[in-house]
């Protein structure tokens, strides 16, 4: 039994989280779905240890559910029908690490190219893997500078090229064009190549954008990673990585005592998050994801118009849910939990964000301006 003091601490924490959830506009986390009917599964020590597509002697697991999640996103990303594999990760960083891991095993002497707007964890990942890397400049909108990329690859034409592409950068939600990158590689006759796409935020809805960005397997990707706690709205950090199976087969090894192959980054894996993702995709489906996107885009458009009408310079990339604004004050940043870097902050209109939230934020900003 918890003591009265400990119970009071939990009550206070709950109240604090409830209040902060009403002022949460700077990070891409949706919080509008209800997962209460899954709470009963928390009584079991479930663990998806090993390969999600192989049986194991550890039967307290949700592998079949995880397989359905993988199939859904493989279809969403137009993965080759007979050559894909994937699993539910702990988040986008693990998915990106996995893609780079496959690339390293395929091309140990390759050079990784990624833009300066790439998520901070990627520099850490290439360090973990001991990969050579080159950072590429970005255009004003946050997209990779294709000319700088071409010139950098040209200087290293004698080694394989590993491209880390962003399908929605952290601060500006810019999207790198995989087709344009493929053309650069073709023009330079780079045959040994690997392209990983970080679709942490935009991956679940990128195919519904108009114009549709080039980001998936048909466009030339070899692996794609997304986050499950962002647009989809899992209350626990998680993600999904989809990769070409022929690359995964190169790294797998049999582990006797669990009765399964070791093909993932971690050994023990969360078996509850696949349930969260499974329920979300069953409730939403492709049509629901598209409608969810359109609703968020409407709030994003409203935000840009309302802020500019009040003299606050706000802009967003085409179709983006991220609105870039001048750096806000410490009070506004802390109250509304706005991510801030250099001279700009941003607002992200995730599912659950309403025009009322935006109006309240603008009221705080204009009060300070006045």
Q: What does the pLDDT average to over 62-82?
A: 97
Looking at residue 46, what is its pLDDT? 97
**Are the C-beta atoms of 172 and 346 separated by less than 8 Å?**
yes
Residue 261 has pLDDT above 80, yes or no: no
Using the predicted structure, report yes or no on whether residue 370 has a pLDDT greater than 90: no
pTM of the model: 0.95
For residue 175 the two structure tokens come to: 């999207």
Q: Both tokens of residue 158? A: 């004698």
SS (H, E, C) 213-234: CCCCCCCCCCEEEEECCCCCCC
- The distance of Cα 369 from the centroid of its chain, to the nearest Å, equals 34
Neighbours of 162 (CB within 10 A): 27
Please list the residue range(s) of the chain that carry CATH number 3.40.640.10.
39-281
CATH of domain 39-281: 3.40.640.10
Q: What is the mean pLDDT of residues 290-296?
A: 98
Interaxial angle between packed helices 92-106 and 121-129, expressed in degrees from 0 to 180 and rounded to the nearest 10: 40
Residue 86 has pLDDT above 90, yes or no: yes
Instruction: State the average pLDDT over residues 104-130.
Output: 96
Q: What is the mean pLDDT of residues 236-263?
A: 82
Chain region(s) in the chain for CATH 3.90.1150.10: 8-32+286-369
* pLDDT over threshold 60, residue 163: yes
| pLDDT score, position 260 | 62
Helix, strand and coil in the chain, % to nearest 5: 40, 15, 40
Instruction: Choose the weakest-confidence range: 41-55, 246-260, 347-361.
Output: 246-260
Residues 6+ away with beta carbon under 8 Å from 236:
229, 270, 272, 273, 276
Query: Predicted confidence band at 254 (pLDDT cuts at 50, 70, 90)?
Result: low
At residue 160, the pLDDT reads 98
pLDDT band at 252 (very low <50, low <70, confident <90, very high): confident
H helical segments located in the chain: 4-20, 63-76, 92-106, 121-129, 146-154, 178-187, 245-248, 273-309, 330-336, 355-369
CATH 3.30.930.10 fits domain 8-32+286-369: no
The answer, yes or no, to whether residue 3 has pLDDT greater than 70, is yes
Query: What is the per-residue pLDDT for 250?
Result: 86
Three-state secondary-structure class, residue 162: strand
Which whole number is the average pLDDT over 291-301?
98
pLDDT digits (tens, 9 = 90+) for 211-222: 999 999 999 999
Render pLDDT for 316-346 as a digit per residue (tens, 0 to 9): 999 999 999 999 999 999 999 999 999 999 9
Give me Rg for the CA atoms of the chain.
Answer: 21
pLDDT in tens, 182-217: 999 999 999 999 999 999 999 999 999 999 999 999
Residue 232 has pLDDT above 90, yes or no: yes
- 27, burial (CB in 10 Å: exposed 0-12, middle 13-18, buried 19+): middle
DSSP string, 268-288: S-BSSHHHHHHHHHHHHHHHH
Share above pLDDT 90 across residues of the chain, in percent, rounded to a whole number: 92
For residue 47, pLDDT beyond 60: yes
When pLDDT is cut at 50, 70 and 90, the band that residue 258 belongs to is: low
- Mean pLDDT (whole number) for 120-129: 94
**What is the strand order of the sheet 223-227 is part of?**
85-89, 239-243, 223-227, 193-198, 161-166, 111-115, 132-136
CB 126 within 8 A of CB 250: no
User: With bands split at pLDDT 50, 70 and 90, how would you rate the model's confidence at 267?
Assistant: confident
- In this predicted structure, the answer to whether residue 255 has a pLDDT above a threshold of 80 is no
């Amino acid at each position: 039994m918890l003591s009265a003091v400990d119970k009071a601490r939990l009550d206070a924490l709950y109240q604090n989280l409830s209040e902060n959830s009403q002022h949460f506009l700077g990070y891409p986390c949706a919080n509008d779905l209800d997962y209460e009917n899954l709470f009963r599964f928390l009584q079991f020590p479930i663990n998806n240890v090993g390969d999600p597509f192989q049986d194991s002697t550890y039967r307290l697991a949700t592998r079949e559910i995880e397989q359905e999640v993988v199939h859904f996103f493989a279809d969403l990303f137009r993965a080759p029908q007979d050559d894909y594999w994937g699993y539910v990760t702990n988040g986008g960083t693990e998915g990106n690490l996995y893609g780079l891991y496959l690339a390293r095993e395929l091309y140990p002497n390759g050079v990784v190219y990624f833009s300066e707007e790439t998520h901070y964890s990627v520099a850490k990942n290439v360090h973990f893997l001991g990969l050579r890397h080159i950072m590429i400049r970005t255009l004003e909108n946050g997209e990779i500078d294709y000319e700088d990329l071409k010139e950098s690859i040209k200087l290293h034409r004698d080694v394989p090229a590993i491209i880390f592409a962003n399908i929605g950068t952290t601060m500006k939600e810019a999207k790198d064009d995989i087709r344009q990158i493929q053309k650069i590689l073709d023009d330079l006759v780079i045959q040994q190549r690997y392209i990983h796409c970080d679709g942490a935020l935009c991956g679940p809805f990128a195919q519904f954008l108009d114009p549709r960005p080039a980001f998936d397997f048909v466009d030339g990707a070899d692996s794609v990673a997304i986050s499950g706690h962002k647009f989809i709205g899992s209350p626990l950090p998680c993600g999904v990585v989809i990769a070409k199976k022929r690359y995964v087969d190169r790294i797998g090894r049999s582990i006797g005592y669990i009765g399964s192959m070791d093909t993932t980054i971690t050994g023990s894996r969360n078996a509850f998050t696949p349930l969260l993702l499974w329920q979300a995709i069953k409730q939403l489906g492709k049509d629901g994801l598209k409608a969810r996107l359109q609703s968020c885009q409407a709030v994003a458009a409203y935000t840009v118009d309302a802020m500019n009408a009040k003299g606050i310079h706000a802009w967003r990339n085409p179709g983006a849910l991220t609105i870039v604004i001048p750096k806000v004050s410490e009070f506004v940043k802390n109250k509304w939990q706005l991510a801030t870097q250099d001279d700009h902050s941003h607002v992200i209109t995730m599912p659950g964000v309403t025009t009322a939230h935006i109006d309240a934020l603008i009221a705080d900003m204009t009060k300070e301006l006045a």
